[in-house]
């Protein structure tokens, strides 16, 4: 049994973030999981991996995990760590695009809705995060039809 297999076997079925590292400790990839053992274990299968994932796993020698209380907390932590470390194998979140949030300003007489990339502590209610702004825009179109 490989060292990585032993590490994965002992992982909890909890939400969290995982960091695959090479022999020098360089972070190759940062991911999040609702259930760490199941998600991280999927990387150790011999078949069914994308070529790029398989190449990464040939270099992986260590694994670091950070357990979180919720999946949402794991998502935010994952994004923060990717922006900080810029791992080679994280393509999707390397740029400064963040997930979209639906912002509802209830302080106006009629609540206003808008799509934003930053959830702030400004008294408004935020719903999300949404990975797809297109879906959120379709949702907003529906709201606009219902509330003229």
Q: What is the pLDDT of residue 132?
A: 74
Average pLDDT estimate for 82-108: 77
Task: Please indicate whether residue 70 or residue 128 has the higher confidence score (pLDDT).
Answer: 70
Q: What is the CB-side half-sphere exposure of residue 21 using CA atoms within 13 A?
A: 12
Give residue 96's pLDDT.
46
Which residues touch 78 (CB under 8 Å, ≥6 apart)?
17, 30, 31, 32, 93
Buried-exposed string 93-118: b where 16+ CB fall within 10 A, e elsewhere: beeeeebbbbbeeeeeeeeeeeeeee
Confirm if 54 and 42 have CB atoms less than 8 A apart: no
Residue 6 backbone phi and psi in degrees, to 5:
-65, -45
- pLDDT tens per residue, range 38-79: 999 999 887 778 888 888 999 999 999 999 999 999 999 999
- Rounded to whole angstroms, the Cα distance separating 138 from 74 reads 26
Tell me the average pLDDT of the chain: 85
Regarding pTM above 0.85, the answer is no
Q: How far is CA 47 from CA 11, 44, 50, 53, 126, in A?
A: 22, 9, 9, 11, 41
Of the candidates 67, 68, 82, 79, the residue with the CA atom closest to the CA atom of residue 128: 79
Distance, in Å, from the CA atom of 40 to the CA atom of 9, rounded to the nearest integer, reads 10
């Amino acid at each position: 049994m490989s060292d990585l297999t032993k590490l994965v076997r002992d992982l909890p079925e909890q939400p969290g973030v995982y960091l695959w590292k090479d022999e020098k400790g360089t972070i190759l990839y940062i991911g999040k999981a609702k259930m760490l053992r199941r998600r991280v274990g999927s990387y150790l299968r011999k078949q069914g991996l994308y070529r790029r994932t398989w190449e990464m796993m040939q270099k992986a020698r260590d694994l670091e995990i950070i357990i979180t209380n919720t999946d949402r907390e794991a998502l935010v932590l994952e994004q923060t760590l990717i922006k900080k470390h810029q791992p080679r194998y994280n393509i999707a979140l390397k740029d400064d695009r963040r997930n979209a949030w639906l912002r509802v300003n209830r302080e106006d007489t009629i609540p206003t809705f808008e799509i934003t990339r930053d959830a702030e502590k400004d008294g408004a209610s935020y719903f999300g995060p949404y990975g797809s702004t297109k879906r959120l825009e379709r949702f907003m179109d529906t709201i606009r039809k219902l509330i003229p």
